[in-house]
Structure 1
Amino acid sequence: MAEGTQYRRTEQGERYDVFHTDCPARDMVDHVTSRWGVWVLIALRKNSLRFYELRESIQGISEKMLSQTLRALVQDGLVWREVEPTAPPQVTYGLTGFGQEVGEPLTELFDRITRSLSSRGEGQRRGEG
């Protein structure tokens, strides 16, 4: 056990305590739940995209922030990166199996929110709400 890292015993074995500042899993949780990390995972949920396609699909993100977010998610093993040796290089990103697993609840949350907003909007248009 690493010094300063807190573990909590569970029935499945040792787990990291993400509430502890020295927890190695905390960085990954921060990357996934960051302002742009969530949007990258949701944008890649159905298919892989090139860098410029990602940038265009996530309105409001700068190239710098997209690059930083992708770098962190690739390093965490949530997103894969493929570079085609063309001029200029074409870079494609997609979710790894782990990324799909982590992104699934985010997608469910996103879908639940958009369905709720849609149904509330219909009720408000009919004068219910």
Structure 2
Amino acid sequence: MDQSRAPVLEALAAYRRRGDISFTPPGHKQGRGVDPRVLDVMGADLEAVAEAFAAAPDAKGVIVASPVDYGTCGDLEGIDEVCRRHDRTFIVDEAWGAHLPFHDNLPTWGMNAGADLAE
């Protein structure tokens, strides 16, 4: 068996040299921001939360995953404001954000944003 080469490592090095952007969920792209075409489709307007409440008047609240496993964080303070305006519960799933409350330069974590529950 020839072990003088490391094909996987060589492929990773070539990938890095080329500067490829990995295909991952929209919004991350290694910190390069959200593609404007994605915003056109998905929207970034907090009023979408209010519109969802209007469309589902029996909804009791919102559950948001922030950050997602790729590091993207939502506007938790903005979402909280919309929830308060509509008297709805706000829950944040922060499975990937346990580190957020430990440094001032990190995004706001759910409890500081006003969430009713951050898990």
Report the TM-score range of the alignment, normalised by the length of the smaller protein.
under 0.3
Bigger share in helix: 1
Q: Answer 1 or 2: which has greater strand percent.
A: 1
TM norm structure 2: 0.25
What TM-score, normalized to structure 1? 0.24
Which has more radius of gyration?
2
